[in-house]
């Protein structure tokens, strides 16, 4: 049929076919028969493999929904080094103007390396990549339809970076649809120093004070105080979590913190309730430190502050017309484009680059515990000399108090620094 359609093709194919025939004859003449013993020493493996999971199969996580899965795999290891300036998938349509299922700036994939030369000279390794189709009604030629397509690999080993640099401004992930498991981690942080006044809290500080040794232990309260809280360190413990959702822009992380000794000092204008004398105003220069502070962390982190994802796990990028639970995936993929990384990702230690602000809401949680402690453990003002020399409150141990609720937003993480996948001085290429 080919010979009839093109005269030029005839003149080209005839010598080509003759050449192939002569090669085949020569090769056939050199072939030798192998006995069973020789064949037993030979192994082989197909480059491509095809598998099928029926709608009723026990491995099908969508059993009863009439969806089967066809998988075409490559039994090989692929290496890839890539830079993508702008990755946008699933934009517009049902997502509205400007809305994208996946929107990432400056995405780079390389081997595991922390230097420019190391990244440029290495590649991520994709073991057994495959293409998979989700088919609705696969047994019916008239009604079957493709409801999902997945690109995946059984294992990805490499470094995925997002954005151009780790800075105080979010950069990289603008929106993400998918499932990413974040491994539990630890870290250290410092709180920013600040003043604490009645205007900040709207709450009185009260307690007891020892006068004349322990002969008098009158109550006091004050709505006139100005205490300077010093900066202090904190040890952080961040819980593991799974980021799951459509068009996510931020991550919710939880954890706890043990706050170091918090030094304070400043003026307290107190009203001391001395029996038979009524209220005596006393201006005290007080100092001391708070110990044993604990906090429950509630971190809202813009995804643009997550830049460095070491990969050593299965991953997939899929598109589906409705929610599909792909084989081997822990979570179902929502409608639209979906990125899933199955194993936990280690984001490194959570070490904020900048001090964490102590808000007024946090101070309001501290004042009642401070008052209870000063009532149960009255500081001593010997011979009223503390009015002149200052009152040393000493240690205020709040280890038995309830943990503070400590919300944090958009931390720049010191461990998210990364080397560009470029030679020279370019941040992205």
Render pLDDT for 237-281 as a digit per residue (tens, 0 to 9): 999 999 999 999 999 999 999 999 999 999 888 777 766 555 667
Q: Which pLDDT belongs to residue 269?
A: 86
Judgement on whether residues 396 and 362 belong to the same structural domain of the protein: yes
Q: Which pLDDT belongs to residue 275?
A: 63
What b/e string do you get for 148-174 counting C-beta neighbours within 10 Å, with b at 16 or more?
A: bebebbebbbbbbbbbbbbeeebbbbb
Q: Which pLDDT belongs to residue 279?
A: 60
Judgement on whether residues 228 and 144 belong to the same structural domain of the protein: no
Q: Per the structure, how many domains does the chain have?
A: 2
Tell me which residue range forms the domain holding 327: 48-166+307-345
Would residue 41 count as lying in a domain? no
Q: How far is Cα 130 from Cα 155, in angstroms, rounded to an integer? A: 11
Judgement on whether residues 82 and 161 belong to the same structural domain of the protein: yes
Would residue 20 count as lying in a domain? no
Judgement on whether residues 69 and 97 belong to the same structural domain of the protein: yes
Judgement on whether residues 230 and 370 belong to the same structural domain of the protein: yes
What is the residue whose two structure tokens read 């990969």? 311
Judgement on whether residues 213 and 230 belong to the same structural domain of the protein: yes
Question: Does the pLDDT at position 386 exceed 70?
Answer: no
Look up residue 161 and give its two tokens: 């970076």
Would residue 429 count as lying in a domain? no
Mean pLDDT calculated for residue range 362-378: 92
* CA distances from residue 67 to 277, 325, 327 in whole angstroms, order as listed: 86, 10, 11
Would residue 245 count as lying in a domain? no
Question: Does the pLDDT at position 411 exceed 70?
Answer: yes
Q: Which pLDDT belongs to residue 362?
A: 94
Would residue 231 count as lying in a domain? yes
Judgement on whether residues 331 and 195 belong to the same structural domain of the protein: no
Four-point Cα dihedral 177, 183, 184, 185, nearest 10: -110
What b/e string do you get for 383-420 counting C-beta neighbours within 10 Å, with b at 16 or more?
A: eeebeeeebebeebebeebebbebebeebbbbbbebbb
Judgement on whether residues 159 and 204 belong to the same structural domain of the protein: no
**What predicted TM-score, i.e. pTM, was given to this entire model?**
0.78
Judgement on whether residues 143 and 161 belong to the same structural domain of the protein: yes
Q: For the chain, how far is it from start to end, CA to CA, in angstroms?
A: 50
Instruction: For residue 296, give the DSSP letter.
Output: E
Would residue 426 count as lying in a domain? no
Judgement on whether residues 276 and 390 belong to the same structural domain of the protein: yes
Would residue 1 count as lying in a domain? no
Name the 3-class secondary structure at 307: coil
């Amino acid at each position: 049929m080919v010979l009839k359609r093109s005269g030029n093709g005839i003149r080209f194919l005839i010598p080509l076919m003759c050449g192939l025939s002569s090669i085949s004859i020569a090769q056939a003449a050199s072939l030798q028969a192998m006995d069973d013993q020789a064949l037993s020493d030979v192994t082989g493996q197909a480059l491509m493999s095809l598998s099928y999971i029926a709608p009723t199969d026990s491995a099908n996580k969508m059993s009863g929904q009439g969806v089967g899965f066809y998988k075409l795999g490559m039994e090989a290891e692929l290496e890839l080094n890539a830079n993508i300036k702008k990755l946008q998938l699933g934009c517009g349509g049902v997502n509205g103007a400007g809305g994208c299922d996946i929107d990432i700036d400056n995405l780079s994939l390389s081997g595991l390396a922390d230097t420019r030369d190391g990244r440029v000279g290495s590649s991520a390794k994709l073991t057994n990549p495959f293409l998979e189709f989700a088919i609705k009604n696969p047994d019916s030629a008239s009604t079957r339809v493709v409801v999902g397509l997945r690109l995946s690999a059984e294992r990805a080993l490499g470094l995925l970076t997002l954005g151009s640099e780790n800075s105080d401004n979010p950069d990289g992930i603008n929106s993400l649809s998918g499932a990413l498991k974040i491994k539990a981690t630890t870290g250290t942080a410092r709180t920013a120093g600040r003043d604490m006044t009645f205007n900040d809290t709207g709450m009185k500080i009260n307690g007891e004070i020892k006068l004349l040794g322990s002969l008098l232990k009158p109550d006091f309260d004050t709505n006139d105080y100005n205490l300077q809280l010093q900066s202090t360190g904190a040890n952080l413990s961040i819980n593991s979590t799974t980021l799951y959702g459509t068009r996510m822009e931020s991550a919710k992380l939880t954890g706890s913190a043990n706050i170091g000794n918090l030094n304070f000092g400043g003026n307290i204008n107190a009203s001391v309730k001395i029996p038979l004398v009524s209220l005596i105003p006393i201006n005290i220069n007080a100092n001391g430190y708070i110990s044993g502070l604990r906090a429950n962390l509630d971190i809202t982190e813009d995804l643009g502050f997550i830049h460095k994802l070491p990969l050593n796990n299965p991953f997939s990028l899929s598109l589906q017309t409705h929610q599909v639970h792909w084989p081997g995936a822990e979570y179902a993929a929502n409608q639209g484009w979906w990125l899933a990384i199955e194993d936990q990702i280690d984001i490194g230690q959570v070490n904020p680059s900048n001090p964490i602000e102590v808000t007024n809401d946090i101070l309001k949680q501290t004042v009642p515990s401070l008052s209870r402690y000063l009532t149960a453990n009255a500081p001593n003002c010997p011979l009223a000399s503390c009015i002149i020399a200052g009152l040393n409150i000493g240690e205020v141990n709040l280890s038995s108090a309830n943990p503070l609720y400590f919300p944090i937003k958009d931390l720049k993480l010191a461990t998210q620094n990364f080397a560009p996948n470029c030679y020279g001085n370019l941040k992205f290429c």
